Amino acid sequence: MHKTLFCFGFGYTAKALAARLAGKGWRIIGTTRSPEKANALRASGATPVVLRADTLDEGALDDATAILISTPPSEAGCPALISAPGAIAANSDSLKWIGYLSTNGVYGDHGGAWVDENSVLKATTARAHRRIAAEAAWGIYCRRHGLPLTVFRLPGIYGPGRSTLDAVRDGAAKRINKQDQVFNRMHVDDIAAGLAASLHAPEQQGVYNFADDEPAPQQDVVAYACQLLGVEPPPLTAIEDAGLSPAAMSFYMDNKRVSNRHMKSTLKIELKYPTYREGLSDIFKKETACP
């Protein structure tokens, strides 16, 4: 049986999943709004589909057996659901898996307590409220058309070319001190492994928190990156003195510890990078390896 993954959006996480599926019989299709970016998709091994006027041609999904949605919602809703409701419904018989990438920001602030998939959603930002609305819209749509939906609530994503190591080198890293504040994160390769595991167990639908094993303060992650790079860490700075933009400040409104127990037990995932230390160490090792 053919296997085709159609990706609405082809960013950092979708590329990592595509790389994991390469050579395993999967055809990858990715959308872009820019004809110039179509060549980059081809270079990565994906077949590009250029969205025009925010509408997807109904025939574009005819070969799809799975759909990944990573496009962020706007006030109008999820771009994928807006652009392709007819095309998706028309292929309901062949679609075995629909994965929606959401965020653990939907939980909002729990005062540092642990949250799981059944915790109350107490979003504190407009961005997180839009995610909650998009999750609900996809749920309604998929129930109406008998489609399989799995929602993945992702934490901070890092990996090669997109980690605290890069921020330290660029001089952009700050050690921001907010009492008892912690964040979960997850290496992009572990996220891709989790998504691949779900693809191969499409019957395990529902909601999954994706997260590492150790929610940690931001300043500890910066200090560890500086240790790997052999540089002095920036001084601790109180959050009110850090000069953060409103968008950056909004991330510090929430404080919670995200449980990944359901992800591990149901999808049978063993994290390669259970904490930021393993993840950053591996990135640093590969970056500094002799060619």
Above 70 in pLDDT, residue 291? no
What confidence category does residue 159 fall into, taking pLDDT thresholds of 50, 70 and 90? very high
- Residue for token pair 């691949």: 196
Report the distance separating Cα 222 and Cα 168, nearest Å: 7
Above 80 in pLDDT, residue 128? yes
Q: Could you report the per-residue pLDDT of 38-90, keeping only the tens digit for each?
A: 888 888 888 888 877 677 776 888 889 999 999 999 999 999 999 889 889 98
Q: Could you report the per-residue pLDDT of 236-249, keeping only the tens digit for each?
A: 998 888 888 888 88
Nearest to 92 by CA among 47, 134, 62, 55: 62
| Mean predicted confidence (pLDDT) in 84-100 | 92
| Mean predicted confidence (pLDDT) in 153-161 | 97
Q: What does the pLDDT read at residue 205? A: 94
Above 90 in pLDDT, residue 21? yes
Hey, is 119 helix, strand or coil? Answer: coil
Q: Could you report the per-residue pLDDT of 182-217, keeping only the tens digit for each?
A: 999 999 999 999 999 999 998 899 999 999 999 999
Q: pTM for the full model?
A: 0.95
Q: Which two tokens stand for residue 36?
A: 């110039």
Domains of the chain, CATH where assigned: 3-157+185-213+256-273 (3.40.50.720)
Report the distance separating Cα 51 and Cα 55, nearest Å: 6
Element (H, E) at 4: strand 3-8
Report the distance separating Cα 32 and Cα 122, nearest Å: 32
